[in-house]
Structure 1
Amino acid sequence: MKLKALFVGAFASALMAAPAIAEITVHDAYARSATPNAKTGAAFMVIENTGDADDRLVAVRSEAAVRVELHTHIDQGGGVMKMTEVEEGFVIPAGGKHMLARGGDHVMFMGLKSPFVQDETVSVTLVFETAGETVIEIPVDLERKPKHGMGHNHMNHDN
């Protein structure tokens, strides 16, 4: 009897000492390119963390392009935005969301191996610090308009 009580107590202690785990879901994902023959494209989505610990999207991979990176836009003034890689990734807060949206943080595909075609999908692996890897199929939507007037009208693609 004592052994059983000791085992149950040890098991309960181990559970309480276990680190909190992020639970990641992805919503409203879509990918696009500016033109049918564009060499670059981007993906946007809402990443939700329903867990009780922050996580971080640290990398992204896809066979769709030569390079795939996490990017953001920086306002350079005068209506010019500069796109740049975010090497440290994006924090996905516990119980919160992080939006990858046009004009903001996004997944950048450089050197597309074939054009993004309306209604097809792009396979992407999202790599999280805690939650690990998640493979998602992102639908291509070349017709979706930017929300809130965000777009790539005055974009500096230096990198």
Structure 2
Amino acid sequence: MRKTIHRLFAATLAGLLLAGTAHAAEISVTAPFSRASAPTAKAGAAFLTVNIDSGSDKLVSASSPVADKVELHTHLMEDGIARMRPVEGGIAVTAGTPTELKPGGLHIMLIGLKAPLKQGESFPLTLTFEKAGNVTVTVPVQGPGARAAEHDHGDHDHGKGHEGHQH
């Protein structure tokens, strides 16, 4: 009986150790940026590109201390008018296909800005993925008409499991 318990314990321990070495999909976020806002603006937006090294995941929400509320949005054409609408169910991220959140398409809305977004400053943005958990990035604020990140500073973040870590 004792040998059986020891074997069961050893098999369980070995299984746990092997499970811990399995590859977890890694999320990378590149080229984050935002646009400077007018002094009286109550909303802003953030843009970025998300990649996953294997499998798939879903960006389900975002948060930032610079706004009261943060939503995932898209642009839709309704009766010839472009309108922004919240994305229902999250934004899919699939290996081999960068997911771009950019002006005129998918983006992150910062609603109820606590202060204007000023060119040359930056702010933290936490992205929450269904499987990978939270990934926090630093978003530089560019000029009001910026269409893309001026340059990638190489300080993008990666998420593994439920924790993001910064390089």
Give the letter for the 1:87 counterpart: E
Q: What is the CA deviation profile of residues 98-124 of structure 1, one whole-angstrom value per residue up to 9, with x for unaligned ones?
A: 000000000001110000011111111
Give the letter for the 1:118 counterpart: Q
| Structural RMSD (CA) | 2.9
Poorly superposed stretches of 4+, deviation over 6 Å:
none
When you count strand as a share of all residues, which structure comes out higher? 2
TM-score by length of 2: 0.73
Is the counterpart of residue 37 in structure 1 residue 52 in structure 2? no
Aligned to 1:141: 142
Aligned to 1:48: 51
Q: What percent identity do the matched residue pairs reach? A: 36
Is the counterpart of residue 27 in structure 1 residue 17 in structure 2? no
Q: What is the CA deviation profile of residues 4-34 of structure 1, one whole-angstrom value per residue up to 9, with x for unaligned ones?
A: 9xx69x8479848x87632111111101145
Is the counterpart of residue 129 in structure 1 residue 130 in structure 2? yes
Aligned to 1:91: 92
Distance 2:16 2:95 in 1: 23
Answer whether contact 2:36 2:119 (CA < 8 A) is retained.
no
Answer whether contact 1:39 1:112 (CA < 8 A) is retained.
yes
| Count of matched residue positions in the alignment of Structure 1 and Structure 2 | 142
Answer whether contact 1:33 1:40 (CA < 8 A) is retained.
no
TM-score by length of 1: 0.76
Is the counterpart of residue 114 in structure 1 residue 115 in structure 2? yes
Q: Which runs of 5+ in 1 are unaligned?
A: 148-159
What SS does the corresponding residue of 1:111 show, helix, strand or coil? Answer: strand
Is the counterpart of residue 63 in structure 1 residue 38 in structure 2? no
What SS does the corresponding residue of 2:41 show, helix, strand or coil? Answer: coil
Larger mean Cα displacement after TM superposition, 32-41 or 116-125: 32-41
Aligned to 1:75: 77
